[in-house]
Structure 1
Amino acid sequence: MIRAVIVDFDDTLCLTRAASFALENEVLAEMGRPPMSPDAHLSTWGEPLLDAMPKRSPGLDLPRFAALHRRALERHIADGRLDLIPAENLRALDEFVREGRAVFLLTSRTEDEVRHMSTAGHALAERVSGIYHAGNTRFRKPDPRAFDELLAATAIPPRQCVYVGDSPGDALAAGGAGLHFVGCLESGVRQPADFDSRHVDAFIDAFTDVVGVVRRLDRAGAGARPVAGDRVARQAT
């Protein structure tokens, strides 16, 4: 069976691109810099923040931006402007736990950007078995080795894991590591044509659809990766 469901955070479990764009432009304004364009943000969306920002705002004082962003992030989270996970998505995670599956997060965010998710009382604290991020993994997606620490810690075979993400880089990382991959299209940023279909088991239009997809993967047999023809039959709409 599928024993572990591993979930990307941004624009997968939680739609965050618009809120992140506003937050980063707020910090740029605090630094006296012009705002980035929506196109500049979109073209680098999915990259680690401090890798993306020099492209979004050339000539940026990156250490100063990082320090100001850390404080702004705390304000936006405290004010409820960022990282509000929809209740129906949390119920989907609960369904996986009831079915005996472990749930993990794997994101390119830094440790500072995910610390609040593991604090007592956070909606994810009792739902996920672990959060893997830029601070406790050696490699970043799309490198398949981004899953090394998680797979080593759990000893779950890759073929019994599903990764749910929103980007082609997510698919490449999961496919290269031997995991099943489900592409979440809920943000509207990407379409199936943006992905290499060899690495995608199914697409979903809303995160909650992943519960049914994982059950179908179970019924199909998780012992071997599905072939291309199977993906069409299991496509979620």
Structure 2
Amino acid sequence: MIEAVVVDVDDTLCLTEAVCFELENEVLAALGRAPMARAVHLATWGEPLLDAMPKRSPGLDVDRFDAAYREVLRRYVHDGRLDAIAPENLRALDRLVQCGRTVLLLTSRTEAEVEHLLAPDHVLAERVRAVYHAGNTRYGKPAPRVFDELLAATGLAPGRCVYVGDSPGDALAAGGAGLHFIACLQSGVRSREDFDVRHVSAFVDTFPELVEAVGRLDTRRAPGSPGTAN
């Protein structure tokens, strides 16, 4: 049985790439920097923000950007422009919990970028058991060891966990750690052809399809078995 469903945040639990592109360009403008092109943002999407920004804006003072970014981030969250989780996605999480699955989050974001998701009154508080981020994990995706702290804290066997994400790096990390992987294509940023199917147990076109996809994995063989993607 799949005991735990580990969920990525950006462009998986909630659609964020387009909003983050707007937010980051607003910060760049406040710093007197030229805006980045959307193609550059897409090409570096999925990388930790402060690793990606020097590629998105060469010569950028990353510390100044980080300080300004945090202020704008808080405003976007407060205004409901960033990290708004669709009701149907929340219902999908509820169904997973009702089926006896533990729901966890694992993201490349920093602690400052997820602190609003950790608030005790957030809609995720009673749905998600724990959140793993750059502040409490020693490794980052696509390194398979990004799951080290999660597996150690929960005592779960990798083969009884599934990671749900939107990028090839997510798939590589999960496959290398022995977790099943479900690729969520809802954002439209990536397609099936972007993934090495050796690391993918299933594809879903929308997040709510995850519930049935996880159910089908209960009867399948371990990650890496041939013919697992559908």
How does the TM-score come out when normalised to structure 2? Answer: 0.98
8 Å contact from structure 2 (residues 200, 228) kept in 1: no
Distance 2:220 2:40 in 1: 41
Offset of residue 120 of structure 1: 1.9
Equivalence for 2:22: 22
Distance 1:226 1:216, change over 3 A: farther
What displacement does 1:126 show?
1.1
Deviation at 1:230, TM superposition (A): 3.7
- How far residue 220 of structure 1 moved from its aligned partner, in angstroms, is 2.8
Q: For each residue in 1:106-153, what CA deviation from the matched residue of structure 2 results, as whole angstroms up to 9, or x when unmatched?
A: 000000000001102111111100000000000000000000000000
Amino acid at match of 2:73: L
Please say if residues 6 and 163 of structure 2, whose CA atoms lie closer than 8 Å, have aligned partners that are also in contact. yes
CA distance in 1, matches of 2:228, 2:49: 36
Residue matched to 1:32 = 32
Partner of 1:118: 118
Question: Secondary structure at the residue paired with 1:59?
Answer: coil
Cα distance in structure 1, aligned partners of 2:178 and 2:63: 37
Moved >4 Å (runs of 4+)? none
- Structure 1 residue 75 displacement after superposition: 0.5
* Distance of 1:42 and 1:230 partners within structure 2: 28
Residues of 1 paired with 2:166 and 2:10: CA distance? 8
| Deviation by residue 1:43-92 (Cα, 9 ceiling, x = unmatched) | 00000000000000000011000000001000000011100000000111
Question: What residue in structure 1 maps to residue 227 of structure 2?
Answer: 229
**Matching of residues 69-148 of structure 1 within 5 Å:** 69-148=69-148
Q: 2:217 maps to which residue?
A: 217
**How many equivalent pairs are there?**
230
> Does structure 2 conserve the Cα–Cα contact (< 8 Å) formed by 1:166 and 1:184?
yes
2:184 is aligned with what amino acid? C
Name the CA distance, whole Å, in 1 between partners of 2:2 and 2:151: 14
Amino acid of the structure 1 residue aligned with 2:51: D
Structure 2: gaps spanning 5 or more residues: none
SS at match of 1:156: coil
The correspondence of residues 6-21 of structure 1 with structure 2, limited to 5 A, is: 6-21=6-21
Give the CA deviation at 1:225: 2.7
Question: TM-score, normalization: structure 1?
Answer: 0.95
| Matched position secondary structure for 1:80 | coil
Q: In structure 2, how many angstroms separate the alpha carbons of the residues matched to 1:60 and 1:17?
A: 20
SS in 1 for 2:117: helix
Partner in structure 2 of residue 163 of structure 1:
163
